[in-house]
Amino acid sequence: MDIRTLLRDNIRSLAPYSTARDEYEGELGIYLDANESPYENGYNRYPDPHQKALKRRIAEIKGIAPEKIFVGNGSDEPIDLVFRLFCEPGRHNAVSIVPTYGMYKVAAAINDVEMREVPLGADFSLDADRLLAAADSNTRLLFLCSPNNPTGNCFPTATIERIIRTFHGIVVLDEAYIDFAETDGFLGRLDEFPNLVVLQTLSKAWGMAGLRLGLAFACEEIARTMGRVKYPYNINVVTQRIVLEELRHGIVGQVDEIRRERRRMALALAPAPTVRRIYPSDANFLLVEVSDPQTIYERLIEAGVIVRDRSRVPLCEGCLRITVGTPEENDRLIEIFKNLQA
């Protein structure tokens, strides 16, 4: 598959903005090239538009060449960029599953791209044939999220693989929750699939939602083109600096605790009078079906606990989505649930 033929014509021929930092890359000297303030305060200089140090570190951690990494302002940025790279507004379309993360559909709407939503099975299973059948010759993007939000399940590797191999456009595989899952995901197999874009984020397991740093991993052609289309200085100096510091310590301990707590919460909540069902989860949240979601949602708020009411989402009728917190926070939630009457 030649990725270049999938790019929009205007993107393929784009001459990107050249920053002062593109023209001179040295480290030492007197910088009179960018009309910055000369008074050093830690952020008077423009950031590295290519985030080289950050990409080197992420490359080490993930075992992926820096040329295959795109760093964005949250996952929101690469989600928006894939539409801008590959979809002619009003003409091309995209396919996704439902229920899934709401941002794909919003980004599609903003870019005037039709989103074709294919329901999962009642057990949240993925029917590859139905998904592929929703695509036509104008379908450029296919979104998958595994582990999926809000259902919490991973889809089988073989099914995802078949979709990537069969689909004639770009498959965007969102692995925001992969650190909490048993499986490794598709990062290690990037080289097999030139039409695959894997999204990950520092917002969940890495604990940096407030810094806004999303990652896209893809073949060099796609990663480079995303880099040409993005705002030149999309990751600010402070975020680049703090993320680099934070990436020095691992997350294994915290991830292990979240996974243990997820299991403990599921076991403790299951016998509660208002709980009907707890879906298996590979993420840092539980999808919990309850007897009366609106009332229980209100009761939890009265007790100072905020969860996400997903009961109006297709296939999630009656469900609340509950993030795994600290052991103390989870104890509190369990206690409240014990005392709620159906």
Number of residues engaging ligand PLP in binding (CB under 6 A)? 13
CA neighbor of 171 nearest in space, from 202, 216, 231: 216
Q: Which residue is nearest to ligand PLP (CB)?
A: 74
Residue 176 contacts ligand PLP per CB under 6 A: yes
Q: Least CB distance from residue 212 to ligand PLP, whole Å?
A: 7
Please, which residue, 50 or 308, has the CB nearer to ligand PLP? 308
Residue 284 contacts ligand PLP per CB under 6 A: no
Please, which residue, 74 or 185, has the CB nearer to ligand PLP? 74
d(CA 298, CA 303): 9
Residue 76 contacts ligand PLP per CB under 6 A: yes
Stretch that binds ligand PLP, among 18-26, 52-60, 72-80, 265-273 (CB under 6 A): 72-80
Residue 114 contacts ligand PLP per CB under 6 A: no
Please, which residue, 140 or 204, has the CB nearer to ligand PLP? 204
Q: Which of 203, 236, 254, 323 binds ligand PLP (CB under 6 A)?
A: 203
Q: Which of 49, 214, 227, 293 binds ligand PLP (CB under 6 A)?
A: 214
Residue 201 contacts ligand PLP per CB under 6 A: yes
Residue carrying structure tokens 């990950």? 200
Q: Which residues contact 161 (CB under 8 A, 6 or more apart)?
A: none
Residue 74 contacts ligand PLP per CB under 6 A: yes
Which residues 140-159 are close enough to bind ligand PLP by CB under 6 A?
Answer: 145, 149
Residue 75 contacts ligand PLP per CB under 6 A: yes
Which residues 41-70 are close enough to bind ligand PLP by CB under 6 A?
Answer: none
Alpha helix ranges (H) inside 167-248: 220-229, 237-246
**CB atoms closer than 10 angstroms to residue 263:** 13
d(CA 227, CA 49): 9
CB 26 within 8 A of CB 16: no
Please, which residue, 240 or 274, has the CB nearer to ligand PLP? 240
HSE-up (13 A, CA, CB side) for residue 143: 33
Q: Which helix (H) or strand (E) holds 296?
A: helix 293-302
Q: Which residues contact 8 (CB under 8 A, 6 or more apart)?
A: 84, 85, 86, 87, 88
Q: Which residues contact 317 (CB under 8 A, 6 or more apart)?
A: 289, 311
Q: Least CB distance from residue 266 to ligand PLP, whole Å?
A: 19
d(CA 290, CA 271): 11
CB 88 within 8 A of CB 9: no
Q: Least CB distance from residue 149 to ligand PLP, whole Å?
A: 4
Residue carrying structure tokens 């080490």? 60
Please, which residue, 174 or 289, has the CB nearer to ligand PLP? 174
Q: Which of 54, 144, 174, 281 binds ligand PLP (CB under 6 A)?
A: 174
d(CA 148, CA 261): 19
Alpha helix ranges (H) inside 248-340: 252-269, 293-302, 327-339
Q: Least CB distance from residue 171 to ligand PLP, whole Å?
A: 15
Residue 87 contacts ligand PLP per CB under 6 A: no
Give the residues lining the site for ligand PLP (CB under 6 A).
Answer: 74-76, 101, 145, 149, 174, 176, 201, 203-204, 209, 214
